[in-house]
Structure 1
Amino acid sequence: VLVTIGYTFIVTFVIYKLVDLLIGVRVKKEEELMGLDLTQHHERAYTVLE
């Protein structure tokens, strides 16, 4: 069981690092401040309060 947990952790970590290097796993700070609905979908999700 411990070998399986260790193997799974290592493989998952390697995959995570590869994805982070190739496409990134976080959005840019500017996009986060603008709102992900606007930057990812090009529309505002919550327009009721405007």
Structure 2
Amino acid sequence: MFALPTTTWLVLVGVLGFWVVYTGVFYVISRNWAVEDADYDKTGDPQ
């Protein structure tokens, strides 16, 4: 593909795939951080 050797193409696709999965997992884990921070706010204003 794009005149690249097969190994190079697989490495590029593997790194891109890993980054997409990593970003997705981070998004799912961190989407409720604002809610968790509200528990530590003594004023009750989560901002």
TM range (shorter): 0.3 to 0.5
TM-score by length of 1: 0.45
TM-score by length of 2: 0.48
- Please say which structure displays the higher CA radius of gyration: 2
Bigger relative contact order, structure 1 or 2, given CA contacts below 8 A and separation 6+?
2
